[in-house]
Amino acid sequence: MTKGKLYLIPTTLGNETEEQTLPPTILDSIKNIDIFIVENIRTSRRFIKRMYKEKDIDNTLFYSYGKHDKIDLQEEFLPHIYNGKDVGIISEAGLPCVADPGNKIVDFAHKFQVDVVPLVGPSSIFLALMASGFNGQNFAFNGYLPIDKSERSRKIKDLEILSRKSNQTQIFMETPYRNLQLFESILKVCSKSTKLCVASNITLDSENIKTKTIEEWKSSNPPNIHKSPTIFLIYLE
């Protein structure tokens, strides 16, 4: 019997309609796959029903791999694959396995020679990089910076130095309700000539993406980013 495949299924970045950001291949995969590994079962069920109303959601199998959930891949993933069933990974927002714990599932799949199929979809990280005007050939995504104020400041300074030495765009993010604290730390720590891009609510009607030097940001009104999903990028040539 032919083994099933592991499909990496992107979702939207917010409440925009799926037709705006997701290609038809996403719908095809949702129609044909009945086993999903997801971050949040409730929101994933809603996403699938929005994409394909005819889906028999009650006969669709879900496994959770969120922060507090662990899936036994040996017992709960491989048997489906070896029985010829395709399995899909769905993230909470954007691309699975990018700033997302799903990479461990993909790594496991490769160890057992399971074909992994990444599908096209939106990524706030790459969309922000595209819109920043910064170096798109040499960049690094650093995830979340430290919560502690002094540690966060040291990390920001380290990233600024690395950007200058390596001509590398530095990308990072924060929990939305701490966005303004991070923004203020960047303004305090970075040199006035360092460029900062703040990319908020990407792909939504309220999308706001601005690039300015630190000096320009200090003389501007702060961006409206409180509780909004936001990507921060710094670059110093």
pLDDT of 16 over the 70 cut: no
Confirm if 197 and 209 have CB atoms less than 8 A apart: yes
CA distances (Å), origin 130, targets 126, 134, 189, 199: 6, 8, 25, 11
Q: Which residue range is the domain that position 63 belongs to?
A: 6-118
How far is 18 from 9, CA to CA, in rounded Å? 13
Q: What is the residue type of 49?
A: K
Q: Same domain, yes or no, for 168 and 107?
A: no
Residue reference for tokens 């891949």: 73
Confirm if 55 and 67 have CB atoms less than 8 A apart: no
- CB-neighbour burial class of residue 58 (10 A; exposed 0-12, middle 13-18, buried 19+): exposed
pLDDT of residue 67: 66
pLDDT of residue 1: 73
Q: Same domain, yes or no, for 63 and 89?
A: yes
pLDDT of 69 over the 70 cut: no
Neighbours of 127 (CB within 10 A): 19
Residue 171 falls inside a structural domain: yes
Q: Same domain, yes or no, for 33 and 110?
A: yes
Residue 79 falls inside a structural domain: yes
Q: Same domain, yes or no, for 110 and 31?
A: yes
Give the end of a domain, one of 118, 138, 164: 118
Q: Is the pTM here over 0.85, yes or no?
A: yes
Q: Same domain, yes or no, for 174 and 71?
A: no
pLDDT of 66 over the 80 cut: no
Confirm if 232 and 172 have CB atoms less than 8 A apart: yes
Q: Same domain, yes or no, for 90 and 160?
A: no
Give the end of a domain, one of 90, 118, 146: 118
Give the end of a domain, one of 103, 118, 133: 118
CATH number, domain containing residue 190: 3.30.950.10
* Span 183-226, pLDDT tens digits: 999 999 999 999 999 999 999 999 999 999 999 999 999 999 99
Q: What is the residue type of 36?
A: F
Q: Same domain, yes or no, for 162 and 209?
A: yes
Residue reference for tokens 């950001």: 21
Rounded to 5 degrees, φ, ψ at 61 are -95, 130
Residue 93 falls inside a structural domain: yes
Share of the chain above pLDDT 90, in %: 87
* Number of structural domains the chain divides into: 2
Q: How confident is the model at residue 122 (pLDDT cuts 50, 70, 90)?
A: very high
Q: Same domain, yes or no, for 38 and 80?
A: yes
Q: Same domain, yes or no, for 129 and 224?
A: yes
Residue 190 parent element (H or E): none
Write down the mean pLDDT value for the chain: 94
CATH number, domain containing residue 96: 3.40.1010.10
Q: Same domain, yes or no, for 111 and 128?
A: no
Q: Same domain, yes or no, for 137 and 200?
A: yes
Show the tokens assigned to 158.
Answer: 């380290």
pLDDT of 132 over the 70 cut: yes
Q: Same domain, yes or no, for 75 and 144?
A: no
pLDDT of residue 2: 92
Rg (C-alpha) for the chain, rounded Å, is: 20
